[in-house]
Structure 1
Amino acid sequence: MSHTSNDTITWSMMLRKLPSIAKAIPRVVRGMKVANVKDPTQTCGLGWSFEQATLRNPDGPALLQGEVTLSYSEVNQWANRIAHHLIGQGIGKGDVVAVFIENRPELLVTILAVAKVGAISALLNTSQTRDTLVHSVNLVAPAAIIVGEELVPAYLAVRDRVSIKAERTWFVADQDTSRQPGIAPEGFINLMTVSLDGASDNPASSQQVFFDDPCFYIYTSGTTGLPKAGVFKHGRWMRSSASFGMIALDMRADDVVYCTLPLYHATGLCVCWGSAVSGASGFAIRRKFSASQFWNDVRKYRATTIGYVGELCRYLVDQPPSADDNRHDVKKMIGNGLRPGAWNEFKTRFAVNHICELYAASDGNIGFTNILNFDNTIGFSLMRWELVAYDHDSGAPIRDAKGLMRKVAKGEQGLLLAKIDDKAPLDGYTDPQKTARVVLHDVFEQGDRYFNTGDLLRNIGFGHAQFVDRLGDTYRWKGENVSTTEVENILLQHPHISEAVAYGVEIHNTNGRAGMAAITPAESLATLDFSELLAFARQQMPAYAVPLFLRVKVKMETTGTFKYQKTRLKDEAFDPGKTGDDPIYAWLPGTQTYVQVTEQLLSDIHGGKYRY
């Protein structure tokens, strides 16, 4: 990334922003008050904030999808009926309810109901299957699970490996269940039918939720391979919903947020929905992102705000230009991962005034937001943060002779550390050992504690930063974090593979890193059937994790140089000119096998002939 000097923020740029800063100050002060709940006896959180929004805008649209529009009071009453039923079934404060439903109103109504009870929603990633799904469920020991009809086959495949009672296994039909609850298959209880006659007033339990109570478990890819469950507390819901909804976006009742991001991730759920709830605004969702339908949907729902990740913006820019590109009501967009290369093109072509790029880790304690609408930046953070020098091979921060870390100069890239204190507590993971691994002690002085984000940033002035890359054993592709260890473990289950090293590589003009794996055949190259290997990978792992490239190595370098080897493998990527005797294979979009990469194919891939 060569965007250094030209993205530096100068005094004159700051001065030009003064009028808009002055206008925003009252809103920022109000937002800060809502965001920072300090009193442990003050009711707060998702259920409470939704009830407040309902009082402010009872008849305004709360959830929109397809032809379904539900008002704030309709959603609130629906969630209340479910909440009363859950309470009647013995679900109480602190109990975990696993939720396994794709993007649709029922998912959000269910999560809202669970929050009102004071229970915790474990937001299962809907693309997970088999071992990964079993691990994710068992990790949080849920008292119950709510499964959407569309995911019943995936759940049935693992049902006997998770210990959830049949009477606590609820079903939600794949239709507009606010009008027609549908029929549950054998072994499931239809949640919408059994809660139909429940009381529709706010349950007393939603008044008993406080800032330190967990609201969701959001799964992040663990570096050890299997997902970790990050704890997202109600106090953090208040912070993110007010920071983004009030302070950054100034959401109002006549705004509508359009979101096609998966709602089991924090960007979709907490940033986009949180912003909508904060403004008592509409929230329009789609089951799965569609580049060709995106702007039609935006016009249909009269959206004023869109949620994004960088990849989504790139897919939209790749669509053929249309006269309607700037015919819409969108003034602002919020999300993360928009690369400097695509930033300006997106802003001008689609005439969006404010790109509110943010940076936050669902398992961390820091957030940055581009409130002042500068270009090519994740904005600034009110938390204490530092960028430190790190070892390029291990990714570990470097300590000096005194054992302390060294801050990098302005404009240089460094590893982002966030200070852990009362103002920025670290909620961490459900597993305390995993939390301990990301906490650094005695960083700049004895006794201080910092969260190691594992991300590289650059300071571009006036407290603003730019995202550079991820470190370590995770890379991002299609807006998802891919764990290299998980990919390696699955490949090693294949009978013809004896060793596997997975890593992310860059393809020109794509966001994030594409998956690549170096594999050693158990016998010889001839024993590998590439179409069978691809089918195996696609069956065993989520689509975004399937390696797009394979490098066949007769012998892996010893583990002593393992880290160094990964760095070199990443550098050589899928260029047959650099990989010596190791043949390279690619899975081209729309095909069912891996084909060998030649110089010609390499230049076709780099030239953008294939759409990844």
Structure 2
Amino acid sequence: MSHADLITLPRLLSRLPRLLVDLPGIVKGLHIGNRSRGAYPVSLASCIETAARDNPNGAALIQDDEQLSYAELERWTNQLAHYLRAHGLRQGDSVALMFENRFELLAGVIACAKLGAVSALLNSSQRGRVLAHSIKLAEPRMVLVGEELFAAFGEVADELALPAEACHYFADRPTWRDPGEAPAGWNNPAAELHDYPVNAPLLERAVRADDPCFFIYTSGTTGLPKAVVFNHGRFMKGYGAFGFAAVRLDRTDRMYVSLPFYHGTAMVVCWGSVLAGQAALIMVRKFSASRFWDEVQRHQATAFGYVGELCRYLLDQPQRPTDADNPIRVMVGNGLRPSIWQTFKQRFAVERVVELYASSEGNIGFTNLLNLDNTVGFSPYPYAIVRYDQEREAPLRENGHLQRVAKGEVGLLLGKITEKTPFHGYTDARDTERCILRDVFEPGDAWFNTGDLMRDMGFRHAQFVDRLGDTFRWKGENVSTTQVEAVLDAVAQISETVVYGVEIANTNGRAGMACIRLACAPQDFDFHALLAHLRQELPAYAVPLFLRLSAQLETTGTFKHKKAPLKEQAYDLDRCHDPLYAWLPGSDCYVPLTRELQAAIAAGTYRY
């Protein structure tokens, strides 16, 4: 980390004029978040209703050539809510939603919210056992399935054994004006909605802040997902904090979102910001780096949502003279690496980067309100960054208590569990309890363990460093995969990198291995120069001992690299069919890994 990244008083004071201009919005956003808890009557649906009342003719949703106004969206979702209630959905029930990014997904979320029902936001890439597990976690009363995922549902239908009356089908078309046909035995809601009222359904009890709004799925330690309970109050916190305090859109704005809406960045941060500004959401079915800027121009988007790897893919595209000539003025998301932060802003002339830190299950968050570089920003919530023992894989305790790190140091981020910052956890109580640390600073206190390493930047600002699982120990030292990836990413002819630790027989800890995607043929790449560069830029213990060349790095729906398969295959030539290279002790170049070399390494011929 550059010392210049630390937050100093002069840096803060330089942002004071802008802060004073934005202060009313910040105060309003924090007020919305602070009151949206407990039994306070508030709902995601109220955001739609407010926008439909105040900006009825404004564009609410845009996709390709389709567009819906806020008034049209309100009428459609009211009718869908009445339909679902007529088919047995009650307040507190859950509904499994299986759609790719399309209007029907958001319509389902809104309709459920209007009834006080819970939407299970299923990952559209899940199949088989994982999909069945995710649906079962939600215990749904019914399932809404888009044509695009009909086959995926069919693979697990027998295991789920949902009755026919619980299964509702939406053709892959604009169903609000063209319902299409449903398969035999399936309900077709779009064909019946015209029979239902256009006014909002009345409830016996108003939806409250602590009522669950949707389930968002996150990775589980067993390899199966966990369902995070996301309540209406948390959605309203995002609506307030990002919509009014940080992103600050208005009715003239359009936000381009190509992230999947089964995750919180798109569903809460991006959509919440759009609703707060009563702006337009440009909903993109699937991300395309080659089409991204053309579509931004076509729709005249003024903002977009991102995750860090999305920005890397955009930088990898060939430069064009028009790169800086675009209508974008603000981007919001998470994971923009310091190594590409300035390059991205300058190439694409982005004025503001609203970097954030949050997790689907977490009880705290950070937001870059002041548009500072290389930071996830400021948190108004009670948190602590504490010393962490990598070898014991546990926070350090002295005299029974944890110890806070000093400014500039790295530690484990904890969020204090309070009435204003509750931890709602998962559908499984055991998973919930495993994430709580107790008696941290005083007897009886409770803190959410984020599992993330953060650097204290000073003045309640932080910088994301690593997931705990992404930091490994080698030669008695902690190796940050993020640090190594940043150095590799800066090398010419390397387009993409993921770093992880692998075991070598008869050694302690894990050695570094990097899976890289080259922008040239391997025979045209200088492996000797690469090693020299890495040895110059990194401590000796952090230099990867193994390289894997891959034509395509597998990612999740939110562009996070899938490290588990890479770690499992390691440098085993029987399991890995990509070209492998090794740095042998005493040499000055990576060399192709052969079966003979692999056997020699396993036999301890080479002393690492």
Taking structure 2 as the reference length, the TM-score comes to 0.82
- For the pair 1:594 / 2:577, whether they are aligned, the reply is yes
Q: Mean alpha-carbon deviation: is it higher for 187-196 or for 157-166?
A: 187-196
Decide which of 403, 409, 427 is 1:430's aligned counterpart: 427
Decide which of 171, 188, 193 is 1:173's aligned counterpart: 171
**Correspondence list, 1:421-460, <5 A:** 421-460=418-457
- For the pair 1:271 / 2:269, whether they are aligned, the reply is yes
What is the Cα deviation at residue 455 of structure 1?
0.1
- The structure-2 alpha-carbon separation of the partners of 1:181 and 1:138, relative to structure 1 and needing over 3 Å to count, comes to same
Tell me the alpha carbon deviations over residues 203-243 of structure 1, each in whole angstroms, 9 at most, x when there is no partner: 11397111010000000001222110001000111101110
In the other structure, the counterpart of 1:34 is: 32
**Correspondence list, 1:116-135, <5 A:** 116-135=114-133
Alpha-carbon distance between aligned partners in 2 of 1:198 and 1:512, rounded to the nearest angstrom: 51
State how many pairs are aligned. 529
In the other structure, the counterpart of 2:14 is: 16
Alpha-carbon distance between aligned partners in 1 of 2:209 and 2:49, rounded to the nearest angstrom: 16
SS class of match (1:267): helix
In the other structure, the counterpart of 2:566 is: none
What is the Cα deviation at residue 49 of structure 1?
1.2
In the other structure, the counterpart of 1:321 is: 319
- Structure 2 residue identity aligned to 1:271: V
Alpha-carbon distance between aligned partners in 2 of 1:222 and 1:347, rounded to the nearest angstrom: 35
What is the Cα deviation at residue 574 of structure 1?
6.4
**Correspondence list, 1:148-167, <5 A:** 148-167=146-165
Q: Check conservation: 2:37, 2:420, Cα contact below 8 A.
A: no
What is the Cα deviation at residue 383 of structure 1?
0.4
Decide which of 486, 489, 514 is 2:498's aligned counterpart: 514
In the other structure, the counterpart of 2:361 is: 363
SS class of match (2:304): strand
- The structure-2 alpha-carbon separation of the partners of 1:279 and 1:603, relative to structure 1 and needing over 3 Å to count, comes to farther
Tell me the alpha carbon deviations over residues 397-454 of structure 1, each in whole angstroms, 9 at most, x when there is no partner: 1112x21111111101000011110111111111111110011000011111110000
SS class of match (2:395): coil
Q: Check conservation: 1:93, 1:118, Cα contact below 8 A.
A: yes
Alpha-carbon distance between aligned partners in 2 of 1:409 and 1:66, rounded to the nearest angstrom: 50
Decide which of 391, 415, 420 is 1:418's aligned counterpart: 415
Q: Check conservation: 1:259, 1:286, Cα contact below 8 A.
A: yes
Q: Check conservation: 2:470, 2:500, Cα contact below 8 A.
A: no
- Structure 1 residue identity aligned to 2:552: P
In the other structure, the counterpart of 2:3 is: 5
Tell me the alpha carbon deviations over residues 471-504 of structure 1, each in whole angstroms, 9 at most, x when there is no partner: 13899xxxxxxxxxxxxxxxxxxxxxxxxxxx99
**Correspondence list, 1:37-52, <5 A:** 37=35, 40=38, 42-52=40-50
Q: Percent identity?
A: 45
Alpha-carbon distance between aligned partners in 1 of 2:194 and 2:395, rounded to the nearest angstrom: 55
SS class of match (1:357): strand
SS class of match (1:28): helix
What is the Cα deviation at residue 587 of structure 1?
4.2
Q: Check conservation: 2:143, 2:166, Cα contact below 8 A.
A: yes
SS class of match (1:98): strand
What is the Cα deviation at residue 347 of structure 1?
0.7
Q: Check conservation: 1:384, 1:419, Cα contact below 8 A.
A: yes
**Correspondence list, 1:59-458, <5 A:** 59-205=57-203, 208-400=206-398, 402-458=399-455
Tell me the alpha carbon deviations over residues 541-588 of structure 1, each in whole angstroms, 9 at most, x when there is no partner: xxxxxxxxxx9x8xx77xxx9xx64xx14x25569999xxx9986543
- The structure-2 alpha-carbon separation of the partners of 1:283 and 1:602, relative to structure 1 and needing over 3 Å to count, comes to farther
Q: Check conservation: 2:37, 2:210, Cα contact below 8 A.
A: no
- The structure-2 alpha-carbon separation of the partners of 1:511 and 1:125, relative to structure 1 and needing over 3 Å to count, comes to farther
Alpha-carbon distance between aligned partners in 2 of 1:160 and 1:330, rounded to the nearest angstrom: 47
- Structure 1 residue identity aligned to 2:498: A
Alpha-carbon distance between aligned partners in 1 of 2:471 and 2:100, rounded to the nearest angstrom: 24
What is the Cα deviation at residue 336 of structure 1?
0.1
Alpha-carbon distance between aligned partners in 2 of 1:422 and 1:573, rounded to the nearest angstrom: 43
- The structure-2 alpha-carbon separation of the partners of 1:168 and 1:436, relative to structure 1 and needing over 3 Å to count, comes to same
SS class of match (2:394): coil
Alpha-carbon distance between aligned partners in 2 of 1:456 and 1:517, rounded to the nearest angstrom: 17
What is the Cα deviation at residue 258 of structure 1?
0.7
SS class of match (1:236): helix
- The structure-2 alpha-carbon separation of the partners of 1:189 and 1:21, relative to structure 1 and needing over 3 Å to count, comes to same
- Structure 2 residue identity aligned to 1:282: A
Where in structure 2 are there 5+ consecutive unaligned residues? 473-480, 517-526, 532-540, 555-574, 584-588, 593-608
- The structure-2 alpha-carbon separation of the partners of 1:50 and 1:398, relative to structure 1 and needing over 3 Å to count, comes to same
Alpha-carbon distance between aligned partners in 2 of 1:441 and 1:461, rounded to the nearest angstrom: 25
Alpha-carbon distance between aligned partners in 2 of 1:419 and 1:237, rounded to the nearest angstrom: 19
- Structure 2 residue identity aligned to 1:514: V
Taking structure 1 as the reference length, the TM-score comes to 0.81
Q: Mean alpha-carbon deviation: is it higher for 153-162 or for 187-196?
A: 187-196
- The structure-2 alpha-carbon separation of the partners of 1:511 and 1:83, relative to structure 1 and needing over 3 Å to count, comes to farther
Q: Check conservation: 1:47, 1:206, Cα contact below 8 A.
A: no
Tell me the alpha carbon deviations over residues 7-37 of structure 1, each in whole angstroms, 9 at most, x when there is no partner: 0122211111111111112222222222222
What is the Cα deviation at residue 392 of structure 1?
1.1
Q: Check conservation: 1:583, 1:596, Cα contact below 8 A.
A: no
Alpha-carbon distance between aligned partners in 2 of 1:450 and 1:274, rounded to the nearest angstrom: 27
- The structure-2 alpha-carbon separation of the partners of 1:27 and 1:572, relative to structure 1 and needing over 3 Å to count, comes to closer
What is the Cα deviation at residue 160 of structure 1?
0.7
What is the Cα deviation at residue 153 of structure 1?
0.9
What is the Cα deviation at residue 328 of structure 1?
2.0
Q: Check conservation: 1:91, 1:119, Cα contact below 8 A.
A: yes
Q: Check conservation: 2:497, 2:515, Cα contact below 8 A.
A: no
In the other structure, the counterpart of 1:472 is: 469
Q: Check conservation: 1:62, 1:281, Cα contact below 8 A.
A: yes
Alpha-carbon distance between aligned partners in 2 of 1:298 and 1:371, rounded to the nearest angstrom: 24
What is the Cα deviation at residue 194 of structure 1?
2.8
Alpha-carbon distance between aligned partners in 1 of 2:205 and 2:72, rounded to the nearest angstrom: 20
Alpha-carbon distance between aligned partners in 2 of 1:71 and 1:361, rounded to the nearest angstrom: 31
- The structure-2 alpha-carbon separation of the partners of 1:346 and 1:77, relative to structure 1 and needing over 3 Å to count, comes to same
- The structure-2 alpha-carbon separation of the partners of 1:516 and 1:31, relative to structure 1 and needing over 3 Å to count, comes to closer
What is the Cα deviation at residue 45 of structure 1?
1.7
Alpha-carbon distance between aligned partners in 2 of 1:121 and 1:388, rounded to the nearest angstrom: 36
Tell me the alpha carbon deviations over residues 253-300 of structure 1, each in whole angstroms, 9 at most, x when there is no partner: 111111000000000100001110111110001111011111111112
- Structure 2 residue identity aligned to 1:470: R
Tell me the alpha carbon deviations over residues 162-190 of structure 1, each in whole angstroms, 9 at most, x when there is no partner: 13211111111111112211111123211
In the other structure, the counterpart of 1:461 is: 458
